Amino acid sequence: MNARFRAALGHEFADPGLLRQALTHPSAPGRGDGAFQRLEFLGDRVLGLVVAEMLLERFPEVDEGGVGLRMSVLVSEETLIEVARETGLDAALMRDPKARDRRMAEKPAADACEAVIAALYLDGGLDAARQFVRRHWRALVERHAEVERDARSRLQEWSHARALGQPVYTVRARRGPAHRPEFEVEAALSSGERAKGSGGSKRAAAAAAAAALLEKLE
């Protein structure tokens, strides 16, 4: 196991076999009983729980739909691949050495990331799994906050620099069921420029509208 991944784990396993099982993908030669998938199944649930905790803490003003949209990105295969790469997990994974296709090489790393979270949970309890997820997902959660803040603040700076005052955001439509709404918001400047954006919350839709308007202006 590489030193980078060992440090990223932040946990000494009482049962090293659990970690070995989590890092042995079903494609690996001599993989045994294939229980990797059972760990992956459990890890998916543990990851969802901890990410949900993080989102509710970080975005107390965002409704269920907005939290759900963020959640779907943060537990996606693409995000798991990113975490696997940054922690060195992808290099520690035992898998089919013949997998040369990029897609065939990356998906096992995403699966193993969930399996490792389950191994941490089984060996050290929820706290061990939670510490791993919080450590490696914190920047990803913040990325969502920065995207929203950045678009609206840049539009405001652009508007003030031209003495156009404060941008005005207006909700133009609300669609979808109550548990997963979608809002359409229009961002407008006093000079007449305007653009629309959609999102699972008014805030997210306003950020999308600001980004769309900036694209038109710049």
114 is annotated as an active-site residue: yes
Q: CB under 8 Å to 73, separation ≥6 — which residues?
A: 79, 144
Structure tokens at 113: 């990331």
Angle of CA points 37, 19, 122, to nearest 5° = 75
Which residue reads 């920065």 in tokens?
146
Q: How far is Cα 90 from Cα 61, in angstroms, rounded to an integer? A: 36
Q: Residues with Cβ < 8 Å from 153, sequence gap 6 or more?
A: none
What does DSSP assign to residue 16?
H
Please tell me which residue in 90, 106, 111, 114 is annotated as part of the active site. Answer: 114
Distance from C-alpha of 105 to C-alpha of 135, rounded to nearest angstrom: 25
State how far Cα 199 lies from the chain centre.
16
Residues with a known catalytic role = 44, 114
